Amino acid sequence: MPELRKDPIIGRWIIIATERAKRPHDFVVEQEKSQQQECVFCEGREKDIPPEIYSVRFNQSRANEPGWKVRVIPSLARLLQIEGDMGRRGKGMYDLINGIGAHEVIIESPEHHKNIAELSIEQITYVLDTYAKRMEDLKGDKRLKYVLICKNYKEAAGVGAIKHAHTQLIALPVNPKRVKEELVGALRYYEYRERCIFCDIIRQEIETNLRIVARIDGFIAFCPYASRFPFEVWILPEEHSCDFYTIKNTRGLAKIMKKIMSRLFEVLQDPPYNYVIHTAPFRRTTSSGFWKTITHDYHWHIEIMPRLTKVAGFELGSGFYINPTPPEEAALHLKGET
Amino acid sequence: MPELRKDPIIGRWIIIATERAKRPHDFVVEQEKSQQQECVFCEGREKDIPPEIYSVRFNQSRANEPGWKVRVIPSLARLLQIEGDMGRRGKGMYDLINGIGAHEVIIESPEHHKNIAELSIEQITYVLDTYAKRMEDLKGDKRLKYVLICKNYKEAAGVGAIKHAHTQLIALPVNPKRVKEELVGALRYYEYRERCIFCDIIRQEIETNLRIVARIDGFIAFCPYASRFPFEVWILPEEHSCDFYTIKNTRGLAKIMKKIMSRLFEVLQDPPYNYVIHTAPFRRTTSSGFWKTITHDYHWHIEIMPRLTKVAGFELGSGFYINPTPPEEAALHLKGET
């Protein structure tokens, strides 16, 4: 019998279509043919793109020259601009803000790799350190509320013309809706139980051990109970922490990231995917109206979403997802236990 | 300067990327090559698919035989089942329900048409009448809270193997998340203003006349102020009504549907699209705990979403949409005024 499962954090119901459960080989992953010849993100092409905002470099190499490990540049197709004021205003009953914010691209490797699974743990550590550093830096701009770190891999997941491994960063003067929903849900749970809902989820996942894919160095990866997508995986620090940018053990996170990305690559034959970091907003009003940093009720995490099925009208129009692979089965495949 | 616009109903912010506004010819619509030879939804193949649940027929033609205008059958890939009890229960902190509900397919024409734009106004009227009839019928099952009517057109919009024009119907024991969000937002507005937010939006759209595409027979079609997708169009009855199934003038709605679908076809060269009907749930608890039918604060509408851009990680992971075509420009193109 199919099941309707409820996401414990935001309350969204999804259908797990148990009766026609899809296994890895049921998904046809289109392999991209065209090999990219020219790539402006490769080492040596620094002068052909905008100057760097930040980089990880050793051996005294100079900015905007070769010798880097990770580079951050302004997006070539900038969505938001950092100059100007917010100009929050109404138009009748509608509200708008000027498109103030930052839009950066994090180039994950000097070589032309495409998939994070191909990078060394050391290199992934540099990438994660860069995520944290950019967040911390942008936090200083009081107009900004949130930094969204998001990766699109392959065309089906919305990547643009440049295939060289890179991550998008958007700093926003508003909080994204999905994060707001999680904050509301997590706060409601905290007020009732006086515990972090994510910590409770981790405890239950460890106890039942039905959906865990890996536990490495204080990080846990599992397929969430009410996964929207087949083979969706979340990674969380086992110890409570609300702000991604305060992370100390990026090397541990790099290890589990490499493990999960490699397993997805193997099991699903290099699938398109998105991942996104959910972290607490920089600033938040409480019901009493004061600014406060969330410490107890929110828990940062990374959501990895392989893009194996087309998102149809149901999903977009109703927020109602249909997942043809039970997360328990997905976890078995990803652990290699099938 | 790009704009961040807020959806007045559910409060979602979206980016309108005004500086690199995309016009219709900027979108490449893949034309599907393969012509379908064999189609079990065509007239004459009634015995090859499950018996009909409902049909529009004239001239005393008999059930499951040719002579129909519209047919409703159980889905060939059923997601939910109508038999059994809900069995709502917990698993630790998680909640689930048995997959109880209905999953039907509405075949929109006896001939092998693919696009609703190709159908006559009369035929579209039969289809809309069928939507209403099925909703009303399923309302009788007290386990069901919501009937989701949703159309996927072309592969990029998630349609399956059968290309013959058809609509999906899913009857659910829970309310879909997006509808819940609209209900919450509409109720909040109503409590504050004592007016329906959708009626106020219609008034403002008529007053500014910036985004209206058509007004026909008491229905209005416009590109919403905070459109998530390029060329998104909503259709609403101008007179307040919360329940789609109580509609009287389906012929008027058919006229405006044909107009909009034809314009999308022409302007965007037969694009993939989804549409979904948002209507009030059959039953709803108020804060005082009593069942009540919503009459004043909710307003049914149809959301039409052309699928011209890939939904990337930002959208899925954050609920934050980037729309490269300002709705004001989309409306001009759809009106033919560019």
Residues 6+ apart with CB under 8 A from A139: A147, A245, A282
Considering only the beta carbons, identify the residue of B12, B80, B178 that sits closest to A317.
B178
Interface probe, candidates B12, B311, B321, chain A, greatest A C-beta count within 10 A: B311
Residue ranges with strand state E in B50-182: 54-57, 68-74, 89-91, 94-98, 102-107, 146-153, 166-172
Q: Which two tokens stand for residue A301?
A: 């995490």
Comparing A327-331, B117-121, B319-323, the range with the smallest average pLDDT is: B319-323
Task: Give yes or no for residue B36 having a pLDDT over 80.
Answer: no
Q: What does the pLDDT average to over B257-283? A: 94
**Using CA atoms, how far apart are residues A120 and A316, in angstroms rounded to an integer?**
37
pLDDT in tens, A150-198: 999 988 888 878 889 999 999 999 999 999 999 999 989 998 898 999 9
- For residue A207, the 8-state DSSP code is H
Report which of B181, B165, B185 is spatially closest to residue B117, judged by C-alpha positions: B165
Report which of A274, A247, A278, A277 is spatially closest to residue A182, judged by C-alpha positions: A278
Q: Identity (one letter) of the amino acid at B33?
A: K
Q: Identity (one letter) of the amino acid at A181?
A: E
Higher-confidence position of B31 and B151: B151
Task: Give yes or no for residue B292 having a pLDDT over 60.
Answer: no
Order the strands of the A3-6 sheet from edge to edge: A321-323, A13-16, A3-6, B94-98, B89-91
Question: B148 contacts in A (CB within 8 Å)?
Answer: 314, 317-318, 320
Give the dihedral of Cα atoms B329, B333, B336, B338; nearest 10 deg: 60
Mean pLDDT over each residue of chain B, to the nearest integer: 90
Higher-confidence position of B260 and A309: B260
Interface probe, candidates A14, A78, A94, chain B, greatest B C-beta count within 10 A: A94
Considering only the beta carbons, identify the residue of A4, A95, A310 that sits closest to B96.
A4
Task: Give yes or no for residue A1 having a pLDDT over 50.
Answer: yes
CA distance A73 to chain B (A): 19
Instruction: Check residue A286 and give its pLDDT.
Output: 52
Instruction: Check residue B163 and give its pLDDT.
Output: 87
Q: Identity (one letter) of the amino acid at A250?
A: T
pLDDT in tens, A209-259: 999 999 999 999 999 999 999 999 999 999 999 999 999 999 999 999 999
Query: Burial of B48 by CB count in 10 Å (0-12 exposed, 13-18 middle, 19+ buried)?
Result: exposed
Instruction: Check residue B35 and give its pLDDT.
Output: 61
Instruction: Check residue A288 and give its pLDDT.
Output: 46
Backbone angles phi, psi at A11, to 5 degrees: 80, 15
CA distance B224 to chain A (A): 11
Higher-confidence position of A201 and B34: A201
pLDDT in tens, B302-314: 999 999 887 777 7
Question: B276 contacts in A (CB within 8 Å)?
Answer: 313-314, 316-318
Bridge pairing between strands B301-306 and B273-278: antiparallel
Residues A301-313, buried b or exposed e (16+ Cβ, 10 A)?
A: bbbbbbbbbbbbb
Task: Give yes or no for residue B286 having a pLDDT over 70.
Answer: no
Chain B residue with minimum CA distance to A309: B158
Instruction: Check residue B197 and give its pLDDT.
Output: 96
Residues 72-131 of A with CB under 8 A from B: 77, 79-81, 84, 91-99
- A:B CB pairs within 8 Å: 235
Q: Given pLDDT bands bounded at 50, 70 and 90, which one contains residue A27?
A: confident
Chain A residue with minimum CA distance to B91: A204
Percent above pLDDT 70 for chain B? 94
Higher-confidence position of A337 and B39: B39
Report which of A277, A182, A264 is spatially closest to residue A230, judged by C-alpha positions: A264
Question: CA quadruple A132, A138, A143, A148: dihedral positive or negative?
Answer: negative
Chain A touched by B184 (CB under 8 Å)? no
Residues 6+ apart with CB under 8 A from B137: B54
Backbone angles phi, psi at B153, to 5 degrees: -120, 120
pLDDT in tens, A91-135: 999 999 999 999 999 999 999 987 889 999 999 999 999 999 999
Instruction: Check residue B257 and give its pLDDT.
Output: 98
Percent above pLDDT 90 for chain B? 69
Task: Give yes or no for residue B109 having a pLDDT over 90.
Answer: yes
Query: Burial of A39 by CB count in 10 Å (0-12 exposed, 13-18 middle, 19+ buried)?
Result: middle
Q: Are B239 and B219 in contact (CB under 8 A)?
A: no
pLDDT in tens, B44-58: 999 999 999 999 999
Considering only the beta carbons, identify the residue of A17, A20, A93 that sits closest to B204.
A93
Q: Given pLDDT bands bounded at 50, 70 and 90, which one contains residue A34?
A: low
- The residue to which tokens 């490990």 are assigned: A69
Q: Which two tokens stand for residue B240?
A: 């307040």
Query: How many of the other CB atoms lie within 10 Å of CB of A28?
Result: 8
Domains of chain A: 8-335 (3.30.428.10)
Percent above pLDDT 70 for chain A? 94
Query: How many of the other CB atoms lie within 10 Å of CB of A111?
Result: 14
CA distance B57 to chain A (A): 29
Query: Burial of A133 by CB count in 10 Å (0-12 exposed, 13-18 middle, 19+ buried)?
Result: middle
Task: Give yes or no for residue A293 having a pLDDT over 50.
Answer: no
